[in-house]
Amino acid sequence: MFRRLVSVFTTKCWVNTKYLQIRHIEVSIVGAGNRIGSNLALLLTQNPKITKLNIYDDDDRVRGIGLELAYMSQGPKVVSYAGDNFLPAAVRYANLIVMVARTPRRSGMSRDQMLAANAPAVQKLCKVISEQNCDAFLAISTNPINSIVPFASALMLQYSTYNPFKICGITHIDTARCRSFAGNALNVSPRRLQIPVICGHSEETIVPLFSNLAPSTFSLDSCKSDTLTRLLRKAGTEVINHKYGEESAVLCMAWSIGEFVERMVEALSGYESVVTCFSANPHFGTRFFAGPTMVGPRGIIHVCGNLPMSEYETSLLNRSIPVLNKEVCSGENYINIMNEAGGLKRT
Q: What is the CA radius of gyration of the chain?
A: 19
Asked whether 140 and 155 are in contact (CB, 8 A), the reply is no
- 32 φ, ψ to 5°? -75, -10
Q: Is 61 exposed, middle or buried (0-12, 13-18, 19+ CB in 10 A)?
A: middle
Architecture of domain 173-253+271-323: Alpha-Beta Complex (3.90)
- 13 φ, ψ to 5°? -80, -20
Asked whether 290 and 168 are in contact (CB, 8 A), the reply is no
What is the pTM assigned to this prediction?
0.91
Cβ neighbors of 289 (< 8 A, separation 6 or more) are 198, 199, 200, 278, 279, 281, 283, 303, 304, 324
Residue of 126, 97, 119 lying closest to 30 (CA atoms): 97
Asked whether 30 and 99 are in contact (CB, 8 A), the reply is yes
Asked whether 113 and 155 are in contact (CB, 8 A), the reply is no
Kindly report, as residue ranges, where domains of CATH 3.90.110.10 are found in the chain.
173-253+271-323
Residue of 165, 168, 120 lying closest to 334 (CA atoms): 120
Residue of 28, 113, 112, 320 lying closest to 201 (CA atoms): 320
- The mean pLDDT of 265-269, rounded to a whole number, is 96
Does residue 147 register a pLDDT over 60?
Answer: yes
Was domain 24-170 assigned CATH 3.40.50.720? yes
DSSP SS3 for 11: coil
| The predicted structure's pLDDT at residue 15 | 36
- The mean pLDDT of 247-276, rounded to a whole number, is 94
DSSP SS3 for 317: helix
Does residue 19 register a pLDDT over 70?
Answer: no
| The predicted structure's pLDDT at residue 338 | 85
Which pLDDT band holds residue 3 (cuts at 50, 70, 90)? very low
| The predicted structure's pLDDT at residue 341 | 75
CA distances from 327 to 127, 162, 334 (A): 23, 20, 11
Amino acid at 315: S
What does the chain come to in residues? 347
- The mean pLDDT of 12-30, rounded to a whole number, is 67
| The predicted structure's pLDDT at residue 17 | 42
Asked whether 139 and 262 are in contact (CB, 8 A), the reply is no
Q: Above pLDDT 70, what percent of the chain?
A: 91
Distance CA 306, CA 291 (A): 11
Does residue 269 register a pLDDT over 50?
Answer: yes
| pLDDT digits 0-9 by tens, 290-307 | 999 999 999 999 999 888
Of 49-53, 318-322, 343-347, which gets the smallest average pLDDT?
Answer: 343-347
- The mean pLDDT of 176-180, rounded to a whole number, is 96
| The predicted structure's pLDDT at residue 12 | 37
| The predicted structure's pLDDT at residue 346 | 46
Does residue 148 register a pLDDT over 70?
Answer: yes
| The predicted structure's pLDDT at residue 14 | 39
More confidently predicted of 347 and 29: 29
Strand residue runs (E) in 9-130: 25-30, 50-57, 77-82, 96-99
| pLDDT digits 0-9 by tens, 328-343 | 999 999 999 888 777 5
What is the residue-averaged pLDDT of the chain?
90
| The predicted structure's pLDDT at residue 345 | 52
Asked whether 101 and 57 are in contact (CB, 8 A), the reply is yes
Kindly report, as residue ranges, where domains of CATH 3.40.50.720 are found in the chain.
24-170
Which pLDDT band holds residue 21 (cuts at 50, 70, 90)? low
| pLDDT digits 0-9 by tens, 82-101 | 999 999 999 999 999 999 98
